[in-house]
Amino acid sequence: MQQVPVSLWTLVAGIVVTAISIWIGQNHTLMPVQASLQAPLVDGFFNVMFTIAIALFLVVEGTIVLFLIQFRRRRGDDTDGVRVEGNVPLEIFWTAIPTVIVLGLGIYSVDVFNRMGGFEPAGHPHSAAHVAHQPGSAIAATLSDTEATTAPTIAPTIGIGASPQTLNKPADLVVDVKGIQYAWIFNYPDSGITSGELHIPVGADVQLNLSAQDVIHSFWVPNFRLKQDALPGIPTELRFVATKPGTYPVVCAELCGGYHGSMRTEVIVHTPEEYESWRTENQIAQQQNLNQVVAINPADLSTSEFLAPHTHDMGISAATLESLVVGH
């Protein structure tokens, strides 16, 4: 019986390993749902790396298992093993292949970074308003305080900015984001709205101007495949387009103190109609003459002041509410 050539076995093994690696690399469920225009770029790069990792794992572990079986010590065999001095072609091969892989992944990653806007984080002019933070309080801030500290900011030079397609074009929506221990505060300069959640319309080119009040924070939206540090004194930027309506978690990915794990919020991606409705309702609620409380202890408010922001939802006017409270 003629023995099968080693080269043929190697070819068959290579085909099997390649097929398995590609299938697993393209059909895994390790990543969350894609919800931004940038997500497929990151996932494509991740899938390539994962495919290569699977192939290397199968080759290395498969070789170990094969050698364990083929070159195991047989019963009664007390002789020495075969002396191996080295194999120059093999050493060149296993040095060259990783080198080519690393260089290829490096070039690919730079291309992805460029297409996401990493090379041009400040390709357009803008101004922004930042939320004031009173020392010692992570939950109390007012719109009047915010307006008092509104000033043009320096254009960020760090982060994910305009992509090559949107370079030198202003974003559809600009939001100032401030990280404080232990919360995110979102300010909308165009409408004067301040929120503890990020609300954006689907399909809009959104620009986040990031800053930090105290220590380094990291703004991470896993579903968008985007993460950017918020640095004290150094403005950074994150620009993206959401592609799927829904509610997605926002996580601080930089250890920022004892309650770092609780520094979470959400980004709500609306349809354009839902976003306009949210924007209108919050503009009305935050433009009442009540010193415009964003977050404050309800015990410090009178009944009418506490209920005033909700008059729109209740379907009554502020005057009617006041008369009801006084009459009561």
Q: Give per-residue pLDDT as tens, 235-266.
A: 999 999 999 999 999 999 999 999 999 999 99
pLDDT band at 2 (very low <50, low <70, confident <90, very high): low
Residues in Cβ contact with 11 at an 8 Å cutoff, skipping those fewer than 6 apart: none
Give the span between the Cα atoms of 144 and 217, in whole angstroms.
26
Mean pLDDT, residues 38-64 taken together: 95
* CATH T-level topology, domain 141-296: Immunoglobulin-like (2.60.40)
Higher pLDDT, 91 or 286: 91
Give the span between the Cα atoms of 147 and 192, in whole angstroms.
8
Report the pLDDT value the prediction gives residue 131, as an integer from 0 to 100: 35
* Edge-to-edge order in the sheet of strand 217-221: 198-201, 264-270, 246-252, 217-221, 226-230
Q: What percent of the chain has pLDDT over 90?
A: 53
Among residues 55, 34, 51, the alpha carbon closest in space to that of 43 is found at 34
- Residue tagged 């572990």 (tokens): 61
Query: Does the pLDDT value for residue 195 go beyond 70?
Result: yes
CB crowding 234-251: b at 16 or more within 10 Å, else e:
ebbbbbbbbbebeebebb
Q: Cβ of 73: how many Cβ atoms within 10 Å? A: 9
Report the pLDDT value the prediction gives residue 146, as an integer from 0 to 100: 40
Residues in Cβ contact with 58 at an 8 Å cutoff, skipping those fewer than 6 apart: 17, 20, 21
Q: What percent of the chain has pLDDT over 70?
A: 76
Least trusted range by pLDDT, from 171-175, 196-200, 279-283: 279-283
Report the pLDDT value the prediction gives residue 300, as an integer from 0 to 100: 60
Report the pLDDT value the prediction gives residue 265, as an integer from 0 to 100: 94
Q: Please tell me the chain's helix, strand, coil percentages from 3-state DSSP, rounded to the nearest 5.
A: 40, 20, 40
Report the pLDDT value the prediction gives residue 80, as an integer from 0 to 100: 83
Q: What are phi and psi of 195, to 5 degrees?
A: -145, 160
Report the pLDDT value the prediction gives residue 10, as an integer from 0 to 100: 85
Least trusted range by pLDDT, from 137-146, 167-176, 190-199, 279-288: 137-146
Report the pLDDT value the prediction gives residue 299, as an integer from 0 to 100: 56
Compute the mean pLDDT over every residue in the chain, rounded to the nearest whole number.
81
Give the span between the Cα atoms of 46 and 44, in whole angstroms.
5
Chain Cα centroid distance, residue 138: 23
Report the pLDDT value the prediction gives residue 326, as an integer from 0 to 100: 54
pTM: 0.70
Among residues 51, 61, 272, 38, the alpha carbon closest in space to that of 162 is found at 38
Least trusted range by pLDDT, from 10-24, 88-102, 134-148, 305-319: 134-148
Among residues 127, 125, 109, 145, the alpha carbon closest in space to that of 296 is found at 145
The domain spans of the chain are 7-69+89-116, 141-296, 300-328
Report the pLDDT value the prediction gives residue 8, as an integer from 0 to 100: 87
pLDDT band at 72 (very low <50, low <70, confident <90, very high): confident
Report the pLDDT value the prediction gives residue 325, as an integer from 0 to 100: 54
Q: Give per-residue pLDDT as tens, 285-325.
A: 776 644 544 445 555 666 666 666 666 665 666 666 566 55
Angstrom CA distances, 261 to 183, 227, 251, stand at 11, 16, 8
Higher pLDDT, 82 or 229: 229
Query: Does the pLDDT value for residue 67 go beyond 60?
Result: yes
DSSP state string for 257-282: STTGGG-EEEEEEE-HHHHHHHHHHH
As beta bridge partners, residue 220 has 227, 251
Higher pLDDT, 295 or 14: 14
